Amino acid sequence: MIQRTNMGKIGLYFGSFNPVHIGHMAIAGYMTEFADLDQVWFVVSPHNPLKKKETLLADHHRLYMVQLAIGDNDRLKASDIEFKMPLPSYTIDTLAYLREKHPKNEFCLVMGDDNLSTLHKWKNARELVTEYPIYVYPRPDSVKPASQLLTQILSAADIHHVSAPLMEISGSFIRVGIKNGKDMSYFLPDSVWKYIKEMHFYEK
């Protein structure tokens, strides 16, 4: 397969991917096929400041599962960029680093619309939304802005609402299912499911 150069409009899909599942893959695939993005990079987060760290598998395992899920799809990429940055990692700092490292790329954010309700809690949120477009896909647990600050921040944002399928699969649903001895293979790429079973992840 001919590999594309890492140039163009790149959607950054941040997450713990604990584990990466078919919902993540469907969203990324939709963004590359139906939105105007050349690539989607899965930015595997070592620690989201808004989440508890102890629930995460080791960074290298989550990154490897994303690589397994992507396979040879050259429109998707697994990124460990935040593994090399100070913790906790902040999106604005990661974007600044990537822009400096890849000046010919145009970077934007890919997120569920539930994340918009927490955007006012992000570091340098006003700068973030004015510097980088946001591609938003629907989520079942989204809420309307609940504060004046959030409304002001969103009013300045370049938001592209993408009509991707509504995905109700979550990492927590998969982890609980595995812990309870359920067959969760239908919710995961085959290679990822095999690796989870081989490593006995999430069983306890």
Residue 133 CB: number of other CB atoms within 10 A?
16
The strands making up 159-161's β-sheet, listed across from edge to edge, are 76-79, 39-44, 9-15, 106-112, 134-137, 159-161
Q: Give the per-residue pLDDT at 60.
A: 95
Give the CATH number for residue 91: 3.40.50.620
- Asked if residue 55 belongs to a domain, the reply is yes
Number of H-type helices and E-type strands within the chain:
7, 6
- Asked if residue 196 belongs to a domain, the reply is no
- Asked if residue 184 belongs to a domain, the reply is no
Per residue in 11-21, pLDDT tens?
999 999 999 99
Per residue in 42-65, pLDDT tens?
999 987 666 666 678 999 999 999
Give percent of the chain with pLDDT exceeding 90.
78
- Asked if residue 178 belongs to a domain, the reply is no
**CA 83/CA 81 separation, integer angstroms:** 5
Q: Report the domain count for the chain.
A: 1
Which amino acid, one-letter code, is at 84?
Answer: K
- Asked if residue 176 belongs to a domain, the reply is no
Per residue in 128-174, pLDDT tens?
999 999 999 998 876 666 788 999 999 999 999 999 999 889 999 99
Q: Give the per-residue pLDDT at 144.
A: 67
**CA 86/CA 89 separation, integer angstroms:** 6
pLDDT at 7 over 80: no
Give percent of the chain with pLDDT exceeding 70.
90
- Asked if residue 159 belongs to a domain, the reply is yes
**Candidate from 30-39, 75-84, 137-146, 159-168 with smallest mean pLDDT:** 137-146
**CA 68/CA 57 separation, integer angstroms:** 16
- Asked if residue 191 belongs to a domain, the reply is no
Q: Which residues pair with 40 in a beta bridge?
A: 11, 76
Q: Give the per-residue pLDDT at 5.
A: 44
Which amino acid, one-letter code, is at 76?
Answer: L
3-state secondary structure of 73: coil
Q: Which residue range forms the structural domain that includes residue 108? A: 9-168
**CA 46/CA 156 separation, integer angstroms:** 29
What phi and psi, each to the nearest 5 degrees, are found at residue 60?
A: -65, -30
Residue with tokens 């078919």: 22
- Asked if residue 71 belongs to a domain, the reply is yes
**What's the mean pLDDT in 85-91?**
88
